[in-house]
Amino acid sequence: MYADDRIDLAHRTGDGIDVTLWWCREDNSISVEVLHYATETAFELDVDTDRALEAFYHPFGYAARRRPELLGVAA
């Protein structure tokens, strides 16, 4: 996948956490990227398209159900 294949659909920053909702034009996939500045940690997870906004606004809740091992970020 090339960088140009991903489109930033939404982005927000607050409390030292940066969240970006990505769409990949190549395979029509959606992902959420979370960066935590204080701990210099990050994770990205694939998102069901019908849950994209839920994952964007509540990435830790979404990760808790889908990939709980990622929750060490921002701990």
What does the pLDDT look like over 24-68, one tens digit per residue? 999 999 999 999 898 888 999 999 999 999 999 999 888 888 776
Q: Report the amino acid identity of residue 18.
A: D
What does the pLDDT look like over 4-33, one tens digit per residue? 789 999 999 999 999 999 999 999 999 999
pLDDT for res 2: 53
Tokens at 73, concatenated: 């970020």
Helix and strand numbers (H, E) in the chain are 2, 4
pTM of the model: 0.82
Which ranges of the chain would DSSP assign to H, the alpha helix?
A: 52-57, 59-66
pLDDT for res 53: 95
pLDDT of 75 over the 60 cut: no
